[in-house]
Amino acid sequence: MTLFGALGFTAPWLLLGLLALPILWIILRAIPPAPVRRRFPGVALLLGLKDEEQVSDRTPWWLMLLRVLAVAAVIIGLAGPILNPEDDGEVAGSGPLLVVMDASWASAADWRSREAALDGLMNRADRESRPVAILRLTAPEQFQFQSADVVRTRLSAGLPEAWEPDAAQTDRAIDLLPEGDFDTYWLSDGIARDAREGLLSALEQHGDVTVFESPAPLYAIAPAAFVDGNVALSLQRLRPGPEAEVTVAAHGRDPAGNPAVLMRQAVTFAADATTAESELSLPAELRSRIERFEIEGNESAGAVSLPDDSLRRREVALIAGREDREGLELLDPLHYLQRALEPTAEILNGALTDVLPANPDVIALTDIATLSGAEEEALSAWIEEGGLLLRFAGPRLAASDVSRDAEDPLMPVRLRAGGRTVGGAMSWGEPKSLAPFPEDSPFYGLQIPDDVTVNSQVMAQPDPTLADRVIAQLSDGTPLVTHKELGQGQVVLFHVTANAEWSSLPLSGLFVQMLERLAVSTTSSALDAGELEGTIWQPVSVLDAFGRLEDAGTLPGVEGPALLDDPLGPDLRPGLYEGEDRSLARNVVTEDRRISPTVWPDRITVEGFSQPRETPLAGWLLALAIALLAADVIASLALSGRLRGARATAAVLAALALLPAEGRSQEADPLANEEFALAATSEVVLAHVLTGNDRVDEIAHAGLRGLSDTLFFRTSVEPADPMGVDLETDELAFFPLLYWPVTPEQEIPSPEAYVKLNEYLRSGGMILFDTRDADIASFGAGSPNGRKLQELARPLDVPALEPIPQDHVLTRTFYLLQDFPGRYSSRDVWVEAAPADARLIEGMPFRDLNDNVTPVVIGGNDWASAWASDEQGNPLVPIGSGFAGERQREIAYRFGVNLVMHVLTGNYKSDQVHVPALLDRLGQ
């Protein structure tokens, strides 16, 4: 290969051919263009005229230049020019080549360019016959130096992983490095990691290290947090840069359950900033449906964050017994509950029967003793499906007989009458404090403040089951909170009021924590390892490096603390994990993770991927030569005066055809549309649907032409030439009748076309479906045409059908008919079914059937063939034999006339039935 700057040639000796160009120039100049022979009667006047100058016998210089350039382009093209040929002088080496790839999620965003760079490396290694090996740091494996060809076949298998190489993996990679010298190309993802240095120095012991890093911006999104009722998004980018705007899309399912983008939010990075914040204000309903946030246009796991339960807030319905004490807020039984739940839950207010259909997670009843039978039933059903009923005691409950003798299904325990009061003005003893929570209580571990005291409580009857049901008790051992499982849900009873009347519990922070523990509200605080100790979390779906969610399949469960703290890796993939009663998301970029660019030592060469790639120019030059020669053809024609009129158009078209056709617009030309509309509406025009089968379309057209002629001759309907319509592009509203021959191979129209068709049918249009198979299968699945018809008509808004009844208006709109033959004479023709209440009225020859035109007529008689005629009116398709056939054709025409009359006049002929009655009534 010979190099000239950025240009190299594979066959430079061919360039000597350029020396021949001046000779070519001289030869071309010597030959005048060939004359045109032209007949011209005025030649008699020309005789004897002399040319004034002798110049134009020479080809003009610009034309010659064109030709010489074309030849030069061919010569240079054949010499095999290559732009930016990869120059291996710098990294000369013949030893083995190790390609180290970070292959982390951060590489996924521009994986294509990495693959391209890798491919380039392979090419070079192949040219120099250097053995190559690939080491992926996220999944280090034993490797061997092999020829580039062999390695190349496995390139596509090496995809990036959704985690970053951690110290252990890097150490393993260092262990794997073989003895001996080799050069290293390191495709880095650009994120700083401590483990890099060790590997770098290990690699440098073996040979040169060159680092490739992509300058493309890398974005990452931290898990969304719930702040002040809004969803807070926090984004990072690897390198500071100019102001940039990225779009974060919240993906989830729409109410119909289909994946959809629920919201988009533009987030702007200020210039030189590496982080950006934004807040999404979303209705709770929408928020709870969000499945992931994604930075659009960034295909990497770091650009995706999965929200777990932290965004989902539970819906709590609060229902109070006493509504009459308006204005006394602090005494309101719901006040403290409301204050405790507001920050972390959605609160529903309303009557019990109203909130139940909303299927809240929790229903809190404060001091409600009795429920109506229906309410109780509905509530039980709701609890059994997993609801949590939270009840608070109060004066009413204490005074009532609920759960006195037998345990109420909606009460965890039986209650003693009256309750008790301690430490009050009229009672002995001190107010009771809380006993420490037992180990099996959900409240276990909560700190009990000293100032929480209970003055009054409802007392539980001692039952054999009572001990199991107590989850919190007072210092004297009386139950404070009891619970009972009911189906999949549970009933929890606080034996005190929800306000501060009976105890100071609702005033304390403990109250809030207890509610949290009961999963009434969701925790806003992060989980700590202690809580997760000993739990196993099962992955539900995991992210791959490109940010796509995949089913976790058979991946093993992960221990709780590991899920929280361990670095991601093959054993802990980012994704959604499910525990006992909640789900946890493990994101690639955690809240406190800050990504920063790697700083490589000065001695290391860092290259970008965007270095000019080796571009062979031969093809372009040869194409240029062809284009120049084409231009030469046009120019020569123009010069010799042969480029006129149609030829000029053809030449220009040919020239345009050579251009890439990207400028062509697919939009419908409004002018053409208008012409179409004018053509279709100036006269009545029958239309047929273009099936794509030329023969069928031709016959359909000829058939409608024959029918149009017949109408013209016999009736006052004078149709113009029929038109073929393309359902996708043409407006249908102009045509009274669409003839639709069914072919098994025609394409199903698009949904948009069906919208148009349904609109057409609803607004009084008629489609005549013709399966053209003599109805051999009676619209069963037996004939391919019949099957196709079913497929075609399925999305259509077609009413119930019936075989055409004897008194259908189609039998008498113009001719009196009882048969509807086409090329075949099957009687099975289907039309819209008569209404069920159509009866034969006394004295009327016909029933009063549908008021409208039947939107479809379906048959298989191949009417178009029977109607088909050429321009002179001669029939195109033989029908039957002899006179009987001609008679059949005549009846077919009559059917066509009746059909068009029916479309155009509707049930006019039906109405005429009433004329005698009307006349009679008018006294005529």
Partner 1 sequence: MTPDIARLRQHAQEEASRFPALLARADQLAGTVLLGDHGRRRAGLGDDFWQYRGMRPGDSYRSIDWRRSARGDEQFVREREWQIAQSVMLWVDGGASMRFSSSDKFPEKSDRARLVALASAILLVRGGERVGLTGWSLPPRRGDVQIARLAEAFTREDDADYAPPEARGMLPFAKAIFVSDFLGDIAPVEAALTKAADRGVRGALLQILDPAEEAFPYQGRTIFQSMGGTMAHETLKASDLKESYLRRLAERKAHLEQLCRLTGWQFHTHHTNDSAQAALLWLYRAMDGGH
Please answer whether residues 339 and 507 qualify as being in contact, where contact means their C-beta atoms are separated by less than 8 angstroms: no
Which of 19, 26, 30, 36: binder of partner 1 (CB under 8 A)?
36
Could you tell me which residues are beta bridge partners of residue 244? Answer: 269
Which of 19, 52, 327, 553: binder of partner 1 (CB under 8 A)?
52
Stretch that binds partner 1, among 48-56, 71-79, 93-101, 880-888 (CB under 8 A): 48-56
- Verify binding: residue 30, partner 1, rule CB under 8 A: no
Decide whether 56 or 349 has the Cβ nearer to partner 1: 56
Decide whether 51 or 194 has the Cβ nearer to partner 1: 51
Distances (CA, A) of 747 to 737, 750, 754, 758: 21, 9, 13, 18
CA distance 845 to 842: 8
Stretch that binds partner 1, among 183-191, 389-397, 636-644, 838-846 (CB under 8 A): 636-644
Q: Tokens in use for 872?
A: 């002179």
The enclosing H or E element of 347 equals strand 345-349
Count of CB atoms situated within 10 Å of the CB of 119: 13
Stretch that binds partner 1, among 38-46, 204-212, 394-402, 432-440 (CB under 8 A): 38-46
Which of 13, 40, 62, 428: binder of partner 1 (CB under 8 A)?
40
Decide whether 646 or 800 has the Cβ nearer to partner 1: 646
Count of CB atoms situated within 10 Å of the CB of 44: 7
The enclosing H or E element of 99 equals strand 97-101
Q: How far is the CB of 50 from partner 1 (least distance, A)?
A: 9
Please identify which residue in the block is written with the tokens 């777990």.
308
Q: Tokens in use for 76?
A: 């240079």
Stretch that binds partner 1, among 27-35, 430-438, 449-457, 795-803 (CB under 8 A): 27-35
The enclosing H or E element of 679 equals helix 670-681
For 765, residues 6+ apart whose C-beta sits below 8 A from its C-beta are 732, 733, 735, 736, 737, 738, 855, 903
CA distance 265 to 431: 55
**Would you say the C-alpha torsion 523, 529, 530, 536 has a positive or negative sign?**
positive
Please answer whether residues 730 and 757 qualify as being in contact, where contact means their C-beta atoms are separated by less than 8 angstroms: no
Which of 639, 655, 733, 774: binder of partner 1 (CB under 8 A)?
639
Q: How far is the CB of 672 from partner 1 (least distance, A)?
A: 25
CA distance 135 to 488: 51
Q: How far is the CB of 40 from partner 1 (least distance, A)?
A: 4
Q: How far is the CB of 656 from partner 1 (least distance, A)?
A: 24
Give 348: exposed, middle or buried? Use CB within 10 Å, 0-12, 13-18, 19+: middle
Q: How far is the CB of 687 from partner 1 (least distance, A)?
A: 34
Which of 12, 17, 33, 597: binder of partner 1 (CB under 8 A)?
33
Decide whether 155 or 633 has the Cβ nearer to partner 1: 633
Decide whether 339 or 644 has the Cβ nearer to partner 1: 644
Question: Which 3 state secondary structure label does DSSP give 631?
Answer: helix
CA distance 457 to 505: 12
- Phi first, then psi: what are they for 174, rounded to 5°? -65, -40
Q: Binding pattern to partner 1, positions 583-622, x when CB under 8 A?
A: ----------------------------------------
Which of 26, 46, 425, 599: binder of partner 1 (CB under 8 A)?
46
Which of 26, 30, 55, 599: binder of partner 1 (CB under 8 A)?
55
Which of 32, 178, 350, 438: binder of partner 1 (CB under 8 A)?
32
Q: Binding pattern to partner 1, positions 640-679, x when CB under 8 A?
A: xxx-xx----------------------------------
Stretch that binds partner 1, among 17-25, 41-49, 180-188, 685-693 (CB under 8 A): 41-49
Supply the DSSP symbol for 496: S
Stretch that binds partner 1, among 30-38, 131-139, 309-317, 813-821 (CB under 8 A): 30-38
CA distance 472 to 464: 17
Which of 5, 13, 42, 836: binder of partner 1 (CB under 8 A)?
42
Q: How far is the CB of 645 from partner 1 (least distance, A)?
A: 7
Decide whether 45 or 425 has the Cβ nearer to partner 1: 45
Q: How far is the CB of 642 from partner 1 (least distance, A)?
A: 8
CA distance 414 to 846: 77
Supply the DSSP symbol for 747: P
Distances (CA, A) of 756 to 281, 688, 765, 768: 39, 15, 11, 16
Angular region, 367: left φ>0, alpha ψ -120 to 50, beta rest: left
- Verify binding: residue 634, partner 1, rule CB under 8 A: no
434-447 CB burial, b ≥16 within 10 A, e <16: beebeeebbbeebe
- β-strand 432-433 against 453-454: which pairing, if any? antiparallel
Decide whether 49 or 599 has the Cβ nearer to partner 1: 49
Decide whether 35 or 534 has the Cβ nearer to partner 1: 35
Which of 30, 43, 256, 328: binder of partner 1 (CB under 8 A)?
43
Decide whether 244 or 639 has the Cβ nearer to partner 1: 639
Q: How far is the CB of 634 from partner 1 (least distance, A)?
A: 14
Please answer whether residues 870 and 702 qualify as being in contact, where contact means their C-beta atoms are separated by less than 8 angstroms: yes
Q: How far is the CB of 42 from partner 1 (least distance, A)?
A: 5
Binding footprint of partner 1 on the chain (CB under 8 A): 32-47, 49, 51-57, 639-642, 644-645
